Structure 1
Amino acid sequence: MRIAVVTDSTASLPPEDVAAAGLVVVPLHVHVGGQDHTEGEGVGGISPGEVAAALRAREEVSTSRPTPATFVEAYEQAAAKGAEAIVSVHLSAQLSGTASSAESAAGDSPVPVHVVDSGTIGMALGFGALGAAEDAAAGRPVEEVVERLRRRVAASSIRLYVDTLEHLRRGGRIGGAQALLGSALAIKPILELRDGVVEPLERVRTRGRALGRLRELAEDALADLPGWADGAGLAVQHVDARERADALAADLQPQVEEEVRIVETSAVIGAHVGPGTVGVVVSPRPQD
């Protein structure tokens, strides 16, 4: 059975990875100063760097999910290319209605669609989508592809440092980190995605200590992988903070055999966490 894997642009996957894996990526929308943009490259698209610049200029920035009609179009195109089933995996339903749009569209798809709420974002979602595409290409049954995908995203961790909580507050995605608002400016928050929402993890006093703590937390996660894991994917994500990301990735590289991915976080996620954000994703890889 030919299985297509569909994800969304918050997976933050570079175009070359999308093409190599044969993924279908449905873009979310970013609204800047009243103008609507689809996330990504091309006409009408907007990049993470452009969103970071708009936030620094204090322009009004918001985001929205794809419509069900957009998903129906993606599913029809996948079927036209020979897909007999589709696995559609998306960012946490606690943060966006994207998975809901996918569910609504599934009934109008010409082939069966298995919608998966990843419960996560960024490269934690991206690694899951890439793994699902590998499993599909290896000829695994769709039920097994979905089971391995669910297991991987559930075991993945994403921890991040943000320069300010203001963007999360404005976008309504602040979750339990609301409790940190009003803290002394010298306190730097480390956040994590827990049960699909943003929650506070720790508070430290300097940016340098925050980045060092991200490294330690990633090392702890790598040392405590599930018994079913065959290593893990490791990615450092950032929003207009490449130097910080490069330094953190260099510190983490000795911990894994494969190259640590350095990925610019998607424009939609960047709109909510703001410039200067750095995050680390550890994604356990299921054994064959």
Structure 2
Amino acid sequence: MTTKIAWITDTAAQLDESFIRKHDVHILPLSVVFDEGVFKETVDMTQEEFYDKLRVAKTHPKTSQPAIGEMVTLYEELQEQGYDCAIAVHVSSGLSGTFDSSQTAAQMVDFKVYPIDSKIGSYPMIKMIEIGNELLNKGHDVEEVIAAINKTTKHSKLSFIPANLNQLHKSGRVSGTQAFLSNLLNIKVIISFDDGKPVMKEKVRANKRAKKNVTDLLRSDMKKGTVPEIAVIHCNNAKDAESWKEELLQEFPNLKAQVLPLSVCVGVHAGEGTTGLSWVSY
């Protein structure tokens, strides 16, 4: 008897509609809290609407994870639809409590859910769902799929470069002095994920040097293993992301590359104009 398995993720993955339909993925929206209310990502606002709000916001917005009640409701609906279990790939627990809430919600219902801490966000979450589906289609059981996805979390990379430190200052990540000096001296910080948490790795002068630093990280992984595909990620900065993509394809013509927006919840902290790279090495 074939096991019917549901896929669940949150909007940190930024899946497009074709991917959602192809893999039958159920989405739990993350939210942004402005003075005028709570807005669910992809449901109550588009990326463009978010950045319009962010530019004029008098109070710095906050981010919010999906409510446990929403998760419980989804799990119960999936059970009613005849699913035997679900695999839930969530944004890093170092960024959000979504993974912990998913575990709690799973214990509250009579339905088997396998919550996975991606230890990252964005593009690698997409690859985890793709890898899982491929293994299921080849006849692997759920436990083997979970093990493979957890292994993938250890080989997933994401680094980004905020255009400035204004939003990081507003969200309390850096001091006002740091933000002022960074803007004055054109100092760029490079933020990379380290064991599930975003960490400021480098400070360099000028965006060009920052991009080279991140590209060097990619080159290093390419020397150690295989990186068939990358994603150039951004916060409402598709133009610069496309330009970076073209630069990379000139150096690596056989590389598969795409441009992906980051979740607006990243935009709350990193700010508009952010760009970066993400990949999974094998």
User: Which 4+ runs in 1 deviate beyond 4 A?
Assistant: none
Task: Report SS of the residue matched to 1:89.
Answer: strand
Structure 2 gaps, min length 5: none
Alignment CA distance shift 1:34-1:26 (3 Å): same
User: In the alignment, which residue of structure 2 is the partner of 1:36?
Assistant: 38
Can you list the C-alpha shifts for 1:101-157, whole angstroms capped at 9, x where unaligned? 101110133321111111111212232233223333433211111111011122101
Q: Is 1:127–1:233's contact at 8 Å kept on the other side of the alignment? A: no
- Structure 1 contact 214–280 (Cα < 8 Å) conserved: yes
1:55 equivalent in alignment to 2:51:
no
Deviation at 1:217, TM superposition (A): 2.3
Give me the whole-angstrom Cα distance separating, in 2, the residues matched to 1:5 and 1:100: 17
TM-score normalised to the size of structure 1?
Answer: 0.86
Distance 1:54 1:100, change over 3 A: same
Corresponding position of 1:79: 79
Deviations 1:220-270 (A, max 9, x none): 223323xxx6x4441111111111100111122353746312111112222
Higher RCO (CA-CA < 8 Å; seq separation 6+)? 1
Alignment of 1:176-255 (within 5 A): 181=178, 183-185=181-183, 186-225=186-225, 231-253=227-249, 255=252
- Residues of 2 paired with 1:102 and 1:279: CA distance? 28
The Cα of 1:37 is off from its aligned counterpart by 1.0
Matches of 1:149 and 1:187 in 2, distance apart? 36
Corresponding letter in the other structure for 2:191? L
CA–CA distance in 1 between the matches of 2:72 and 2:255? 36
CA contact (8 A) 1:48 1:265 kept: no
Instruction: Summarize the Cα distance change of 1:80–1:232 in structure 2 as closer, same or farther, 3 Å threshold.
Output: farther
Aligned mate of 1:274, from 263, 271, 274:
271
**Contact 1:162 1:273 survives alignment (8 Å):** yes
Q: Which amino acid aligns with 2:260?
A: V
For 1:148 and 1:194, the matched residues in 2 are separated by 20
**Partner Cα distance (1:59, 1:121) in 2:** 28
Amino acid at match of 1:57: V
Q: Which has the larger radius of gyration?
A: 2
Question: RMSD in angstroms over aligned alpha carbons?
Answer: 2.3
CA spacing shift, 1:136–1:80, aligned 2, 3 Å: farther
The answer to whether the Cα contact below 8 Å between 1:85 and 1:113 also exists between their aligned partners in 2 is yes
Tell me, in whole angstroms, the C-alpha distance in 1 between the residues paired with 2:82 and 2:228: 31
Output the CA distance in 2 between the equivalents of 1:29 and 1:234: 27
Q: 2:262 aligns with which of 255, 262, 265?
A: 265
Aligned positions, number: 275
Q: In 1, are the aligned partners of 2:34 and 2:57 still within 8 Å (CA)? A: no
Q: Distance in 2 between matches of 1:138 and 1:269?
A: 35
- SS at structure 2 position matched to 1:260: strand
Q: 2:24 matched to which residue of 1?
A: 22
Contact 2:221 2:281 in 1 (8 A): no
Distance 2:54 2:189 in 1: 19
Residue in 1 that maps onto 2:10: 8
Aligned in 2, Cα 1:4/1:243: closer, same or farther, shift over 3 Å?
Answer: same
What is the CA distance between 1:209 and its match in structure 2? Answer: 2.3
- Which residues in structure 2 correspond to 1:104-143 (within 5 Å)? 104-143=104-143
Going from structure 1 to structure 2, the CA distance change for 1:239 and 1:202 (only over 3 Å counts) comes to same
Shift of the 139–111 alpha-carbon distance from structure 1 to 2, 3 Å rule, reads: farther
Per-residue displacement from partner, 1:58-78 (whole Å, max 9, x unpaired)? 443211011111111222233
Aligned counterparts of 1:256 and 1:144: Cα–Cα separation in 2: 34
* Residue 164 of structure 1: aligned partner: 164
The code of the aligned residue for 1:27 comes to P
Q: Report the identity percentage.
A: 24
Gaps of 5+ in 1: none
